[in-house]
Chain A
Amino acid sequence: MAPLQAQIRAILLPSKSPLVNFRIVFTVGSAADPADKPGLAYLTAQMLGDGGTKELTYRQIVEAMFPMATSVGVQVDKEMTAFTGSTHVENLNAYYKLLRAMLLEPGWREDDFRRVKDDAINAIKVGLRGNNDEELAKEVLYETIYQGTPYGHLTLGSVSSLEKITLDDVKAFYKSQYTQTHLDLGLAGGYPPQFVDRVKSDFKAALPLNGGFQPRKAAPSIPERTRVVIVDKDTRSVAFSLGYSIEVTRASADYAALLLVSSYLGQHRMSSGVLYNRMREMRGLNYGDYAYVEYFPRGMFLMEPPQNVARHHQIFQVWIRPVEPPNAKFALRLALFELEKLAKNGMTEESFDRTREFLSKFVNVLTKSKRAELGYAIDSNFYAINPYNDYLKAQLAKLTLAGVNRVIKQYIRTDRLTIVAVARDGEGLKQQLASEDPSPMTYNSPKPAEITEEDKTVERRPLNLKPQDIVVRPVAQVFQ
């Protein structure tokens, strides 16, 4: 019997606008990298979005796009690869002609490959290891928590793997993974109705229906004891990221409650969170402290989360921004102390109510542009939920304080964590963390009694870490 004709999945948000937004998303990412070729999905995507086509060199593409002020953005994550771009509707045909060719008739040129490879290697060596301690800590956290699973390597791969990947590897990956079944065609804005059919038929004609290797879906194992990774590099301050896996995504029943808890603890780059308040506002420890239940890359550059980094597995994560080295141990103790307090006491009616109100309205800000709304729509499709704005409001409305406090008891913990620090003198920090010596805090101004009293507990809070729980890695070896 002939297989049913698959329909290309199109996610459409037409509107009266002079602009058109594209989000062409493939539900395949670095989780599909062969075990010996981490970074393959990433390099393949870069060759498409940052290289020439069969007909045009990269230079010719840049020349053609320049007067239209258009470009193609490439974002690769574990389970999604997104090609994004926007154009004025006056340039729709000209832009789409280029975009179509980039994705469906790639040029696979050696000189593009060399450039794109170098960029990827430098993104690891300089972008992460060299110049961004905070993102480095976060990615080491993910690598450690997910070790042994398809998520267990950096999406960029590793320096040695990137050096070895060939153009044939990339072409083979494209052929087997860029398929109709993996495709979500997203369009928003003022495109003419007949444009959609044209795009659909182009992709249907060019791409194979089904693809090759699908990675096994495996949840990470939970460590027996808390483990610490210290990345040793020459740097001014100590950056922390800590967390543990949670089997909760947007599709889960507990999602809205857990989102509410993370917002209460530390809404991204806002002053409302408990961690921000107790660590930065009251004590001046650092620039900020936040909590997450979804992957949020490059948070230091963004005020709102990106779209199209949807995943089937997530972690609960706390981000402690760089602290002065003498205060590092105290800062870690304080963050864990706050988590423990929350796990023990739960939230109050007032804080529950207020945080729920925040999330119910802030979602309007998150979806304020058609471009963002389209991104959320594609992610909602991935999670098989209703459009995000409606979905979240409905889920939040159903929450109760008792329900949220149950979720806190179930998910918030301070044992069997993974903790990552990026610091100078890694061995010194290791010795500090492995000892239960108190870490008293001193301040440059008088503190209210409740802080000084609390400090007496915090500064001696047991970390329960043995030397064998802590590993120090020189930065040059990370993602190498």
Chain B
Amino acid sequence: MKAMRQPLFLLLMFAAAAFAAQPQKIFPYSYTQEDLPNGLRLITVPTDYANIVAVQIVVQTGSRNEVEPGLTGFAHLFEHLMFRGTPAYPAEKYNQTLNRIGAASNASTYADKTIYYTTFSKEDLDTVLAMEADRFQNLKYAEPEFKTESLAVLGEYNKNSANPMSKLNEALSNTAFDRHTYKHTTMGFLHDIQDMPNQYDYSLKFFDRYYRPEYTTILVVGDVKAKAVRALVEKYWGAWKRGAYHPDIPAEPPQEAPRTVQVDWPSPTLPLVEIAYKGPAYTDSAKETAALEALSYLAFSSNSDLYQRLVVQEQKADTIMSGAPDAIDPSLFEVVARVKRPEDVDYVRDQILATVKQFSEKPVDAAKLDQVRKRLRYESALRMDNSDAIASILAQYIALKRTPETMNALFEQYAKLTPDDIRQAAAKYLTANGRTIATLSGPGGAK
């Protein structure tokens, strides 16, 4: 781990530490990271992109925290409710203020985190930080508004329901997991969404448990100075009271045998086949996350033998996507393919399984691994082309380890990987007993 510079002792309420950029670090910006006494963390990243500031507030709660049965989808509903106003800024006034300052504003909920983002012109930093502080501390909505908002969530479910990938994901998660809360999706089960109007009291409990400084990180990226940001955050967020709740997320027992699930889609569509394996929790201090990420590129990216054969040459699939596990708790390594004809589903499935076997037995060429390393570095550089994008990238890492340093640490793991590390990770995690296969098909395939 990188040694910290000596923190400057200040007469203010908290100590700050600043990390200077090193030339070889994947994250090239200097940033300031500091904790208020109430546990709130502030990370400020000044950039050269003039006039724009991106504020992303990362709350370390998501559908993973929905431990009570019948109450899935609440982290997401809660994200909606955060726009319903406070005594000082009722919803209309909040919306009109954001409107006047020309801000782009939205939020997203995931399994491990909920992120609130606002991108705006730098002269409105004070207003944005004040309004955000207000709704994080003083949110207040009455039951009628709560019930109305739950209908908007149902509307969101409805618009998602046209896409079979949503249904496939729901079935896969439900089958792969037994006890851990990754068993349900962030949207939640439809029957729980339909019951939401009756759960006003539970929604208030959710706010009380998780919308607390110890779960929250404020990330400010753009045309800002760290000192000025710090002063504003201290002013508006300093009095926020720490909470005391710690969720009891059930551990997932080891999977003993392969699993399958079939989803019948009522209208014409192309078949989907998804193969998932139980993988490790995110780590930047051991090789596994990095090894599985690299494996994902080597085995399944557009440059892989499998993709070139199935999609380009044989043209039996038109999409192959994969993702390595990168969640707080052990989650899934996933490969999904869209197959052009129903009669080829088994073949595509078997080709994916054969690829997995090959990577578990044979180490890749060192040259190919080097190419993946290069790609990962250039990919990061290309994505960071404005303050908003930088904030979005960092927010994902902050959700995991509450610091941009984890991005650097992960890339250091990539740098150290050997071909045998990849093979070992595949052999350890991509096993039949840890596997779930989900398939989806329409009536007789697409017309």
Contacts and interface: CB of A to CB of B under 8 A. Distances in A.
Contacts of B315: 111, 114-115, 118
B120 interface: yes
Contacts of B104: 270, 303-304, 362, 365
Given A118-B315, A286-B158, A364-B52, A68 B378 contact: yes
Contact of A286 (B152, B374, B389): B152
A447 interface: yes
B378 A91 contact: yes
B375 A358 contact: no
Given A91-B378, A133-B162, A365 B103 contact: yes
B91 A130 contact: no
B378 A126 contact: no
Contacts of B270: 122, 126, 130
Interface in B273-311: 301-303, 308, 311
A158 interface: no
Contacts of B374: 67-69
A324 B158 CA distance: 8
Interface in B375-426: 375-376, 378-379, 381-382, 385-389
Given A18-B381, A284-B150, A284-B152, A132 B101 contact: no
Interface in A428-444: 443-444
B371 A66 contact: yes
Contact of B308 (A59, A91, A129, A233): A59
A358 B148 contact: no
Contact of A365 (B52, B99, B372): B52
Given A66-B371, A322-B158, A364-B51, A19 B164 contact: no
A355 interface: yes
Interface string A114-138: 1100110010011001111110000
A283 interface: yes
Contacts of A234: 266-267
A235 interface: yes
B98 A272 contact: yes
B258 interface: no
A300 B163 CA distance: 12
Interface in A248-297: 267, 269-272, 277, 280-288
B326 interface: no
Contacts of A118: 315, 318, 340
Interface string A166-195: 000000000000000000000000000000
Interface in B111-162: 119-121, 143-152, 154-156, 158-159, 161-162
Interface in B153-204: 154-156, 158-159, 161-165, 197
A354 B102 contact: no
A454 interface: no
Interface stretch (A28-36, A368-376, A397-405): A368-376
B14 interface: no
Contacts of B155: 280, 284-288, 321-324
A86 B389 contact: no
A115 B386 contact: no
A282 to B, nearest CB: 7
Contacts of A86: 382, 385
A281 B375 contact: no
A371 B161 CA distance: 33
B311 to A, nearest CB: 8
B100 A354 contact: yes
B446 A122 contact: yes
A319 to B, nearest CB: 11
A354 B119 contact: no
B265 to A, nearest CB: 9
A358 B100 contact: yes
Contact of B386 (A88, A283, A358, A369): A369
A355 B101 CA distance: 10
Contact of A369 (B105, B121, B154, B389): B389
B78 interface: no
B386 A361 contact: no
Interface in A353-410: 354-355, 357-365, 368-372
Given A67-B372, A118-B315, A281-B148, 11 more contacts: A69-B378, A86-B385, A111-B313, A125-B268, A271-B95, A287-B155, A321-B159, A364-B51, A370-B386, A445-B146, A447-B144
5 contacts: A118-B340, A364-B51, A365-B119, A365-B388, A445-B147
Interface of A: 17-19, 21, 58-59, 62-63, 66-70, 86-88, 91, 111, 114-115, 118-119, 122, 125-126, 129-134, 233-237, 239, 267, 269-272, 277, 280-288, 300, 303-304, 321-324, 354-355, 357-365, 368-372, 443-447, 475-476
